[in-house]
Amino acid sequence: MTNERGFSLLEMLVATALMAIAVVGMLSGLSTSLRNAGSLTNRDRAAIVAKRKLDELLLTRRLPRFAPFQGQLTPINDAGLSGGWTATVTPFEVPPGVGPGQAILERVECEIWWNDGDRRRTFKLEGYKRTILSPTDILGGVLQP
């Protein structure tokens, strides 16, 4: 009776091949995960910048109505993103026979755009603000821009 210990050369080659396949699969998955994480990081940054910009617009007392207005993002202040933003303010709820001193509800739409490699990406948010109308807001019974 012989006492065989260890593995044969064939068994070692099969085990090595299986390990190589497993390692290649793992590295491929890791590479894809890192690429997705980088993309999500930019989207997370854009969401933060868009929320900050929307909050700033909602706190601004007088914004132009009906016409889009825009600005540039600065990479230092805006989470490293370079791009811009566009906003539009439109009345959302206006009571009938509205006049100066009355409140209306306005919708503020804010879109952030940035370049991600060779592609332009966008992120859009909207919010609502209450505005008390002044005499210059109403001319001839019509809400003015």
The model's pLDDT over 103-140, given as tens digits with 9 standing for 90+, comes to 889 999 999 998 877 888 899 999 999 988 888 877 66
Full residue range of the structural domain in which residue 72 is found? 9-143
The answer to whether the CB of 67 falls within 8 A of the CB of 80 is no
- For a pLDDT cut of 90, what percent of the chain falls above it? 30
Q: Is 1 domain-assigned?
A: no
List, edge to edge, every strand of the sheet that includes 83-93: 69-72, 83-93, 103-116, 119-132
4 is a domain residue = no
Comparing CA positions, the residue from 55, 126, 124 lying closest to residue 90 is 126
pLDDT for residue 30: 85
Is residue 63 assigned to a domain?
yes
25-52 tens-digit pLDDT: 898 888 888 777 766 677 788 888 889 9
The answer to whether residue 45 sits within a structural domain is yes
Are 87 and 110 contacting, i.e. CB atoms less than 8 angstroms apart?
yes
Residue 128's domain is classified under what CATH number? 3.30.1300.30
Q: Is residue 2 part of a domain?
A: no
Residue 86's DSSP bridge partners are 70, 111
Residue 15 has pLDDT above 80, yes or no: yes
Number of domains making up the chain: 1
Backbone angles phi, psi at 99, to 5 degrees: -145, 175
What is the overall mean pLDDT for the chain? 84
Burial of 94 by CB count in 10 Å (0-12 exposed, 13-18 middle, 19+ buried)? middle
The answer to the question of residue 3 being in a domain is no
Question: How big is the CA angle at 36 (ends 30 and 37), to the nearest 5 degrees?
Answer: 85
